[in-house]
Amino acid sequence: MAETPVRRRVRASGSVQGVFFRDSTRQRAEAAGVAGWVTNRPDGAVEAAFEGDADAVARLVEWMHDGPRGAYVARTEVNEEEPEGLRGFDVR
């Protein structure tokens, strides 16, 4: 029996743009089989939505607290949302 998917929206603030945060997030999400998207925000933050297996989503959320090498994450905000049935992972 398949586990019910979960969705989390994560916003990482700090020195997070220009350090391959979005592409690193995409690579990790695709490897974990998690759907969603990631985007740079006008205020300098990176925002992502993850949908999928609860454990895989939790690992991605945890990774967002540090991000890729070269990033400095000063703050993260995590919100639980209703899954939308997304497929694939987009860099916006």
Residue of 8, 11, 28, 40 marked active site: 40
Nearest residue to 12 via CA among 87, 63, 51, 70: 63
CB atoms within 10 A of CB 39: 14
In the residue annotation, 26 being an active-site residue is answered as no
In the residue annotation, 75 being an active-site residue is answered as no
d(CA 14, CA 87): 29
Asked whether 13 and 44 are in contact (CB, 8 A), the reply is yes
Residue of 7, 22, 26, 28 marked active site: 22
Active site residues: 22, 40
